[in-house]
Every structure is written in structure tokens, then in C-alpha cells.
Amino acid sequence: MESAVIVADTSVLLNFLKIGRMDLIGKHPRRFLATDHVENEINDETQRAAFRAAVAEGQLDTCRVDDPREVELFLRLGPGVRLGAGECSALAVAVTRGHAIAIDDNRAVDRAFRAAGLGPILFT
């Protein structure tokens, strides 16, 4: 069964923030979710304000990475070593909760999964 939620990496959201079209995320038939780590990677104050406005308007949801299984996977993926914290947290939440992932560097994700002893990840 296809997940009704898509966990977004920072780079994916930044693309929409840069063109001022977070409304497209909100209009997508599946709900988008961003972790606290993803939000923390948005450095531009204008983009951060637009992100927070999109959350307030219900265009996407946010979550904390605090479930022990998510934290363990986050750490195994090696934030700051193989992937950024936003990528690691988005992957940890997507894998643990059975959600889809919106991420733009499949090779890096595959390398991180292999390095973490998780085997290859399949992208469709």
C-alpha cells in the first residue's frame, strides 16, 4: 500500500522555497512532512519564514526525531559524515514510519545505507 505521507529532505523543500511555491507542496495529494533537522538546515531567514508560514497554513507538517528507533537509525546513517542531518533525519523517519521519501541524492543515500550495514536501498 502506498504511504499517504512523503518525508521531504531539505534540498527538496529549498527548491520550492526559492521560487516561492510552497503552495504546490500543500496541493499535492499526499501530505508532506519535514523533520526538525530539516527545518534547522534552512539558513536563509526569508526562506525560514516562508517555511514556517507554510507549516502554519497547513501546507506541510513537521515532526521531531525522538522515537528511539528513529534516533538509532539517524545515528547509524552518520549525520555530518556521509549525509547531512536533514537527510539522515528524513530517511530515519521515512524508513521507521513506512513513509515515502523526497530526496535528491540517491547515490549518497545508497552509500550511507550500505555503510550503516543496512544493505542497498531501492528507489522507485
- pLDDT per residue over 8-59, tens digit each? 999 999 999 999 999 999 999 999 999 999 999 999 999 999 999 999 999 9
Q: Considering the domain boundaries, does residue 26 fall inside one?
A: yes
Residues 6+ apart with CB under 8 A from 91: 7, 73, 77, 83, 101, 103, 109, 112
98: cell is 513506512
Q: Considering the domain boundaries, does residue 123 fall inside one?
A: no
- With H, G, I as helix, E, B as strand and everything else as coil, classify residue 96: helix
Q: Considering the domain boundaries, does residue 122 fall inside one?
A: no
Q: Considering the domain boundaries, does residue 84 fall inside one?
A: yes
Beta strand pairing call for 61-63 and 31-35 = parallel
Alpha carbons 91 and 35: distance in angstroms, whole number = 10
Backbone angles phi, psi at 82, to 5 degrees: -100, -35
CATH of the domain at 98: 3.40.50.1010
Q: Considering the domain boundaries, does residue 120 fall inside one?
A: no
Predicted model pTM: 0.86
Residue span of the structural domain in which 75 resides = 5-115
In the chain, the number of structural domains is 1
Q: Considering the domain boundaries, does residue 121 fall inside one?
A: no
- Note the pLDDT tens digit of each residue in 64-115: 999 999 999 898 887 666 788 998 899 899 888 989 888 887 776 777 667 6
Q: Considering the domain boundaries, does residue 32 fall inside one?
A: yes
Q: Considering the domain boundaries, does residue 25 fall inside one?
A: yes
